[in-house]
Amino acid sequence: MNFPIGELSKRTGVKVPTIRFYEQIGLLPEPPRTESNQRRYGKAEADRLNFIRHSRALGFEVEDIRALLAMTSEPQGSCHQADSIARSHLSEIDRRIASLQALKAELSRMIDECGHGRICDCRIIEALADHSHCCTEH
């Protein structure tokens, strides 16, 4: 297979500017070019780009993806580092979920305390104006 960047974009669901960005930062190797300077891609680049896209969809940071991609060049190596990266990412997700749950609880409390009267008596506006009215640190 030998196809241009637009076809790679269609096959992977990754926009052309994003593909170029991944090339610039070294996640995707610079492809060979035709005599007319057009980028040409094959199955290996499509597979790598799908890996990157899926990793980003799961929230992995670029440097983690770079490390995970480097591991794929040693298929017989230990997956300990991949496991460590995934566990660290999961811990960060758990931290963000806890933070979002605290935000949800605080907003729910503010809404529940709202008397649906006038703005001058609104608990939501009051809490937003003065953090000391909040029950949690968020």
CATH number assigned to the domain comprising residue 56: 1.10.1660.10
Residue 28: beta bridge partners?
A: none
Residue 11 belongs to what H/E stretch? helix 5-12
Q: What is the DSSP letter of 110?
A: H
Q: What is the pLDDT at residue 113?
A: 77
Helices 5-12 and 16-24: angle between axes, nearest 10 degrees: 100
Rounded-to-integer distance, Cα 137 and Cα 5, Å? 47
The CB density around residue 14, as the number of other CB atoms within 10 Å, is 21
Answer whether residue 138 is part of any domain.
no
Rounded-to-integer distance, Cα 43 and Cα 55, Å? 18
Q: Looking at 77, 103, 122, which one is the last position of a domain? A: 77
The number of distinct structural domains making up the chain is: 2
Give the domain extent around 96. 81-133
Q: What is the pLDDT at residue 135?
A: 67
The pair of structure tokens assigned to 14 is 């990754």
Q: What is the model's pTM?
A: 0.78
Q: Let me know whether 58 and 98 are in one domain.
A: no
The pair of structure tokens assigned to 72 is 């794929």
Answer whether residue 70 is part of any domain.
yes
Count of CA atoms in the C-beta half-sphere (13 A) of 4: 5
Q: Let me know whether 98 and 37 are in one domain.
A: no
Q: What is the DSSP letter of 72?
A: T
Q: Looking at 61, 77, 93, which one is the last position of a domain? A: 77
Q: Let me know whether 57 and 98 are in one domain.
A: no
| Digitized pLDDT (tens) for each residue of the chain, 138 residues in all | 799 999 999 999 999 999 999 999 999 998 988 889 888 999 999 999 999 999 999 999 999 999 999 999 888 988 999 999 999 999 999 999 999 998 898 888 888 877 777 777 677 777 777 766 666 666
The pair of structure tokens assigned to 119 is 């703005």
The CB density around residue 19, as the number of other CB atoms within 10 Å, is 24
What does each C-alpha distance from 42 to 16, 30, 75 come to in angstroms? 15, 12, 21
